[in-house]
Structure 1
């Protein structure tokens, strides 16, 4: 069955390249809707939705944007307009996927529109920016970014292969379908549980996941790397997730201290706002994350550092930082509209926070635990177990408690 793919981009500078992938897509039997977001000049090919319409949806006119001669302002407005149009096309069932190509400006514009689409809708971005930090473009959505290798400037013997691969990729994505049998086996009707994990909390989370799945739940595990926490919060807000085993709240260390894996200041808020059951723990609150050892900021060089691997350096959180973390987490949980149980592992919050390991610091942990208990509302149950977070007993307690909350 033919699908419809949106082609969004600047047709004044990339018209030839868009025409190339348009022809490939249509030869595969699919339809296209071409959206022009260019501002520098007239389009090289005829669009289905012209730049004038995109500008109006963004709150301006194309003439005003051209006269201002402010590229940044123009991209921002055209991005807003394109996002509105793409979202509307999808809501009306007029597109099944989207593809774009561009440099830094075109990538920022197109991926903003892609992020307006739900997870699962095919999204392909061919970009000169795809080999660097893609977090500003991808956010928490399933955007596939393909590095263009050369600048997107003409169709030549190299770029033609890359563009053809991208066209093939978006066609394959829209053609792909999860069968009804697969949906049933994946537990479409099962409670969907979000869980957070780090390498140093893996044994705990894997055990929790196993128990939950044995008891009829489906578990989505999010790697607590900043984007992982953000992705889980986003899916909770969208109504996908029914309950949370938020075992690894480490992203707050990076947000507080200045590490590289922050999930932002709203982490730990979505489940409370929606009111879904949540079991929360203090996984990996002993560490702040940085890149390779030589990238650790100068002010932290004298701190307790641990080389996790060649690209990741961990820094032990201090007593004072743990006091602040306790206050922050208590504040977030106190706002929850639904049931919350906090689990505290008295023998350490990670695999390297136990006796004989590099981050073992009973004083710092005690400050975290006491601060949490001091600031949490009496209505929030706190369970302290004489375990390390990765002990089987601790994981079992979390899993069975969450199952009870879900049943209630």
Structure 2
């Protein structure tokens, strides 16, 4: 994305690749970029051989930035070690170039190895910096490469091995897309108002919609994150980067997956960032009645006999038990107790999701009470506890948590 000052200078695209094996292909991408009037900075992350074309940052410098030397990586001959080290080095180089104003966009070309290295560099850059990866593995599971960053991945269709009518077209398209991103100003408005991060799941959508609309009417910018594991991690990362000023963590369902073993876990650091940053947060227990799996036949055999809800052919939900909820409640209480800023826990006593409402599949007052009781028992006194006789999606509950966060935010101002 072109910055305001970039219009007065030539944009620079950093291209990351293994120049010892993909020099021809990367050279072609460089030429397409240069023909469109952008500067190109080649970063060589090849380990085993000499570069086929001249890099701007040599592989030796990348290895050193990754805490090792090119000679030691060659001597070890361990591909996994080399990919990890060069990924760390490429990330450090990319950050350095970006901080110095010498990186407006980043492009990568390659197979699984360079995809791992180049996307490590991309993940080190802020959201909004154009990131484009042409990869042989882009049609599979891309989560390990994309993580929580805005990385565009383009499947190369054929292997990136030599130039032909197919590879030229794909690489040229990627290069031209990058040119478009770094040379055009989208004129996106960046409002000067406090930003609130909100977590949502399908089964907590009414709550989030009501709270979001109310907060925006009070003058807040809101960013809603889908609590699918990656979404929770993305919010945590943006809190750490200072993008988010307050958190309405309606949907903490990722902790059910983390504790029980579902597919949408956000990791053990979920709920840490806001507390460590000391920013205001209001946390609830949205969708902690469920653990997420893929199609029904992918649910691990150890869970046979449990209560399931088929959300759609690709998503199977499993009801959490009283014991699981009690354990999750203790974990969340510990996270909130560690917060250094104002924090409130909001409990919807009539259900934590759409499916936990009276008459719905997951309505289980005993399991809910186990969760609530564990939270009450383990919360410190300085964590404000808000309990309402409402379902999480009732307007009364949504407005109450939004107003509580607004109170904290106003006090901070």
What TM-score, normalized to structure 2? Answer: 0.96
Pair 1:148 & 2:156 matched: yes
CA distance in 2, matches of 1:75, 1:357: 49
The aligned residue for residue 362 of structure 2 is 359
Give the superposition deviation at 1:49: 1.4
SS in 2 for 1:120: coil
Q: 2:133 matched to which residue of 1? A: 125
Query: Do structure 1's residue 394 and structure 2's residue 397 form an aligned pair?
Result: yes
The alignment covers a number of residue pairs equal to 403
Structure 1 ranges of 4+ moved more than 3 A = none
Aligned to 2:249: 246
Does 1:303 find its partner at 2:306?
yes
Alpha-carbon distance in 2 for matches of 1:173, 1:338: 38
Write out aligned runs for 1:281-360 (5 A): 281-360=284-363
1:34 is matched with which residue? Answer: 42
1:237 to 237, 240, 249: 240
Q: Which runs of 5 or more residues in structure 2 are unaligned?
A: 1-6
Q: Distance in 2 between matches of 1:375 and 1:85?
A: 45
CA distance in 2, matches of 1:32, 1:232: 32
Give the drift of 1:178.
4.1
- Which secondary structure state, in structure 2, belongs to the residue aligned with residue 29 of structure 1? coil
Deviation digits for residues 219-276 of structure 1 (CA, Å, limit 9, x no counterpart): 0000000000000000001111110000000000000000000000010111111111
Distance (whole Å) between structure 2 residues aligned to residue 105 and residue 269 of structure 1: 32
Of 375-384 and 304-313, the range deviating more from structure 2: 375-384
Structure 2 CA distance for aligned equivalents of residues 318 and 74 of structure 1:
45
Which deviates more, 255-264 or 63-72?
63-72
Select the residue among 84, 99, 103 that pairs with 1:91. Answer: 99
Counterpart-to-counterpart distance in 1, 2:173 and 2:210: 40
Distance 2:226 2:184 in 1: 26
- Partners of 2:285 and 2:72 in 1: CA distance: 53
Q: Deviations over 1:294-342 (max 9, x none)?
A: 1000011211011001100000000000000110000000011111111
Matched, 1:50 2:53: no
Secondary structure of residue in 2 paired with 1:302: coil
Of 139-148 and 246-255, deviating more is: 139-148
CA distance in 2, matches of 1:235, 1:124: 21
Q: For residues 384 and 176 of structure 1, what CA distance do their matches in structure 2 show?
A: 50
Q: Measured at CA, do residues 383 and 56 of structure 1 come closer, stay the same or move farther in structure 2, by a change above 3 Å?
A: closer
Q: What secondary structure, in the 3-state scheme, does the structure 1 residue paired with 2:101 have? A: coil
C-alpha RMSD of matched pairs (Å): 1.1
Equivalent of 2:269, from 266, 271, 274? Answer: 266
| Residue 279 (structure 1) aligned with residue 269 (structure 2) | no
Structure 2 counterpart of 1:211: 214
Q: CA deviation at 1:165?
A: 1.1
Q: Which residue of 1 is the match for residue 110 of structure 2?
A: 102
**2:4 corresponding residue in structure 1:** none
C-alpha distance in 2 between matches for 1:46 and 1:105: 21
Give 5+ residue unaligned stretches, structure 1: none
SS in 2 for 1:171: helix
Q: Residue 24 of structure 1: which of 32, 55, 70 is its match? A: 32
SS of equivalent to 2:255: helix
Q: Secondary structure at the match of 2:400?
A: helix
SS of the aligned residue for 1:271 comes to helix
TM score, norm. by length of structure 1: 0.97
**1:132, CA displacement in angstroms?**
1.3
In 2, the alpha carbon distance for the partners of 1:10 and 1:46 equals 12
Q: Residue in 1 aligned with 2:374?
A: 371
Do residues 68 (structure 1) and 76 (structure 2) align?
Answer: yes
Task: Measure, in 1, the Cα distance between the counterparts of 2:354 and 2:304.
Answer: 23
Write the distance in 1 (CA, Å) between the matches of 2:220 and 2:248.
12
Q: Deviations over 1:41-75 (max 9, x none)?
A: 11111111111222222233322222222111222
Q: Distance in 1 between matches of 2:381 and 2:258?
A: 27
| CA–CA distance in structure 2, aligned partners of residues 238 and 53 of structure 1 | 27
Deviates more, 1:317-326 or 1:156-165: 156-165
2:224 is paired with a residue of what secondary structure?
strand
